[in-house]
Amino acid sequence: MTLRTRAELISAADTNLFDNDTRDISPADVRNIIKDMADSGTIPVGTSVEYGGHTAPPGWLLKYGQNVSRTTYAALFAATCKQATVTAPVASPGVINWTAHGHKANDPVSFTTTGTLPTGLTAGTTYYLIATGLATDSFRLSATVGGAAINFTGSTSGVHTGLYAPHGRGDGSTTFGIEDDRGRVTAGRDDMGSTAANRLSGQSGGVDGKTLGAVGGAERHQLVVGELASHVHTESQATYTFLQGGSNSGGTVGSGNTGSAGSDLPHNNVQPTIIKNKIIFTGVY
């Protein structure tokens, strides 16, 4: 068996040479051509696709919410996360200075330091950007999505590092999280291109469609009264006759109930679905 060079494999792919070539293709050949495509940018690191196999092919990882090495998968860490030196001066409300951060409101960030963070921030805790005060090189934070701005008090020292890791910060130093696609479908971010399409921006089902990595939705749902369609219950009045002073009298009864039906159980909330694995390209072989 003769192994082809990467250049030969690329040329074969470009000229349909595979149609008439009888030489065997080895797993090493496949890895080489995929690596060349990665090195040339044809397959960007961080690309996610559906996959019919049981195990991920070379250069790819299954996406099940696992933590992986920042060193081994340095290119994937750079593609999916952001890390930079920041400042956090004492101020009310507090402001994080992060040059050209590129973040959006509700994005999660956390911090580490060689010294002391101001009171109001704790190393390793996840905070969320707020829309108020959001600028190209700075932003304010809240402890919860949509919460109030945090004040920075006390004192600060050392070098602070900010981390944006939408799928989890891992152990905070050597690992980071891969998105958890188990049992989930994927939707395009509602404000790609900076303008919201308003198709998934009202946090329907708990999903914030404008935040990368946001999750939500449910397999089953149990209706509450506020979700029922407006309706009227019709009540049948009962007629009665009774004897009073030697003569018959009659009337109607104006109270009662319409009875009840149903089991009050959650209903199926799943669209027609086919199950496949989802993998992400790492560029590591």
Q: Which domains does the chain have, with CATH numbers?
A: 1-43 (no CATH), 45-81+170-186+274-285 (3.90.1340), 83-164 (2.40.30)
pLDDT (mean) for 126-152? 96
Positive/negative CA dihedral, 168, 170, 176, 179: negative
Q: For the whole prediction, is pTM greater than 0.85? A: no
Across 9-18, 94-103, 196-205, 230-239, the highest mean pLDDT is recorded for 94-103
Question: Contact 135/123 with Cβ under 8 angstroms?
Answer: no
User: From CA 172, how far away is CA 207, in angstroms rounded?
Assistant: 25
* pLDDT for res 17: 45
Give pLDDT tens digits for 163-185. Answer: 999 999 999 999 999 999 999 88
Structure tokens at 122: 């704790």
Kindly report the CA angle at 102 between 71 and 64, in degrees rounded to 5?
A: 45
Q: Is 161 exposed, middle or buried (0-12, 13-18, 19+ CB in 10 A)?
A: middle
* pLDDT for res 240: 61
Question: Contact 279/63 with Cβ under 8 angstroms?
Answer: yes
* pLDDT for res 245: 61
Residue 230 has pLDDT above 90, yes or no: no
Residue 151 phi, psi dihedral angles, 5° rounding: -90, 140
* pLDDT for res 285: 80
